Amino acid sequence: MNSSDIPSRIIKPFGLNGLKNAIPVDSSTTTDNNGVATFDKGFPPVTMQPLSAGGIPPSGKDMNGVIYSVTLQQQWQNAGAGYTFSQDFSDAVGGYPKGSVVANSTLNGQWISLNEANTTPQSH
């Protein structure tokens, strides 16, 4: 890959003004049985079965919700923005990897992770 291969920047998240669902993080019996997409499982198996066999078509609003979530974050990154340290995020993913860089809480500096699975911010 070359620096000249840079893709176009996303200037508007997909489906910004369209109908979309907020995509739940975790699945449940209710989401699975109703064909609701989640970040945990994606689209449940019932959305991949023929209608004649009791399948439920995937929701266009779920598809818009998923693509919106992804492109909203991509647009944020295209703008050169990052994230501040988050203890909740760190706990959820098992800590930041070595070499990751996050903005400090006052947005006037950065913290770099010097260790794998790091759960403590460090100033540099």
Distances in whole angstroms, Cα of residue 8 to Cα of each of 13, 64, 78: 13, 20, 9
Backbone angles phi, psi at 111, to 5 degrees: -115, 140
At 46 the pLDDT is 97
At 120 the pLDDT is 86
> How far is 78 from 82, CA to CA, in rounded Å?
10
pLDDT tens by residue, 59-112: 999 999 999 999 999 999 999 999 999 999 999 999 999 999 999 888 999 999
In the chain, where are the structural domains located? 11-81, 82-124
For 108, residues 6+ apart whose C-beta sits below 8 A from its C-beta are none
pLDDT tens by residue, 21-62: 999 999 999 999 999 999 999 999 999 999 999 999 999 999
- Is the predicted pLDDT of residue 123 greater than 70, yes or no? no
- Is the predicted pLDDT of residue 124 greater than 60, yes or no? no
